[in-house]
Copies of this chain bind each other. A is one copy, B any other.
Amino acid sequence: MNILCVAAHPDDIEILCAGTLIRYAEEGHQVTMAIFTAGNMGDVHISPEELEKIRKKETLASAAIIGAKVIWAGIDDELVFPSLEQRHIMIDILREADPDVIFTHSPNDYHPDHRYVGQLVFDAYFQKGLPNIPNQVKPACRFGQSQLYYMDNLGGIDFLPAEYVDISDVIEKKLMMLACHKSQLSSMEELANTDLIGMVDVQSRFRGLAAGCRYAEGFVRSDSFQRGLTKRILP
């Protein structure tokens, strides 16, 4: 299958979904990590241009660990909008990945970029398969036939997972991927006084407590008319 995760910032996937992607990759599925913004505003000392270069390199290093393809949309960090322009970009991302499963941010996430990326994915869902949408770069891929999952958020505020993936066997690899985002580890420390590695360890163990395994990631499926709801397509 083709697995796609679309996140707003370069480390979101590692924090919220990497364990699941690792499991898909290890089962031989094609994984695509799409990063919608350049993550270029998250530092008070480094210029946006410089920061984008750093973060893209970090993302490629992380993706290389599981052989995932990277789509780098390069939208300015903090400036995601559900606009026509960004819709076109999102449709092309979906078309390039032609996904069987899509992961993205939840509509009630704490960060506006996350919310709008989630909204753009939802909005682009049908258009990925319709050939006549004007001004698209990529040709239409398959119509429908993907399942859409919303990811957890930091601290789990207003998020109750409905499905869990056991990531106990791949937690080290998940933390290795996260560790590629060196610029962010220090920036989060400075700006938000947060130890990213420790935070992800705690959140994965907490979701594991609920699910009945050592480490887990939690998701909520976005159900919709005739989207093949009779099977579990998660690993």
Interface residues of A (CB under 8 A from B): 40-42, 44, 47-48, 76, 78-79, 81-84, 87, 110-112, 122-123, 125-127, 129-134, 143-144, 153-158, 160, 162-166, 191-194, 199, 202-203, 205-206, 209-213, 216, 223-232
Decide: A223 near B158, CB < 8 A? Known: A112-B126, A144-B192, A230-B164.
yes
Per the bound structure, the CA–CA distance linking A89 and B209 in Å amounts to 31
Residue of A42, A157, A206 most packed against chain B (CB within 10 A): A157
The reply to whether B78 and A133 contact each other, CB–CB distance below 8 Å, is yes
The chain B residue sitting closest to A162, CB to CB, is B162
A interface SS class: loop
The reply to whether A230 and B216 contact each other, CB–CB distance below 8 Å, is yes
The reply to whether B212 and A206 contact each other, CB–CB distance below 8 Å, is no
Nearest 9 interchain pairs by C-beta: A155-B210, A232-B232, A212-B226, A112-B123, A110-B224, A206-B206, A154-B225, A166-B230, A211-B229
